[in-house]
Amino acid sequence: MNLNELAKEIHRNAVDHGWWEEKRTFGDIISLCHSELSEALEEYRKGFKPDVIYFCCNQNPAINVPCVFKENELSYCPYAEVKQGDCEYRDRKPEGIPIELADCIIRILDYCAYTGIDIDKAIQIKHEYNKTRPYRHGGKAI
């Protein structure tokens, strides 16, 4: 599946879930993307590593402690007696830096499908151009 196909699937899901019942402006879309990136920054500022996390397994839902996963494997659960793989995270909403970055990409792809932007082609064009640019072009520090 290329990005354009993924964008169409993402947009269909957004439509099916009522997110396009009212027309959105370009500014709305950019603001929503920015909010997802801000959420990723907040996850980083909380000290979370770039892992997918789930707030807490069903062993004791009153405790808001993250269970941490790396590559779909449980690497930490706040309950020592819970064996790896036994944590009941499956019905929980995924959180963390990767998820917030994914949310931003999903919003971008949703908009691309809505407007008919060929994002595959745009990325290829921009990537090829970037390869021709000089080292640290523009002289900026970051």
pLDDT digit string (tens) for 39-91?
999 989 988 777 777 666 655 555 566 666 665 566 666 665 555 555 665 55
Residue 138 lies in a domain: no
Domain co-membership, 60 together with 79: yes
Residue 72 lies in a domain: yes
Torsion over CA of 127, 133, 135 and 137, rounded to 10 degrees?
A: -110
Residue 33 lies in a domain: yes
Domain co-membership, 59 together with 78: yes
How many domains does the chain fold into? 2
Question: pTM value?
Answer: 0.78
Domain co-membership, 111 together with 78: no
Burial class, 78, CB count within 10 angstroms (exposed 0-12 / middle 13-18 / buried 19+): middle
Of 105, 107, 89, the closest CA to residue 97 belongs to: 105
pLDDT digit string (tens) for 94-114?
888 899 999 999 999 999 999
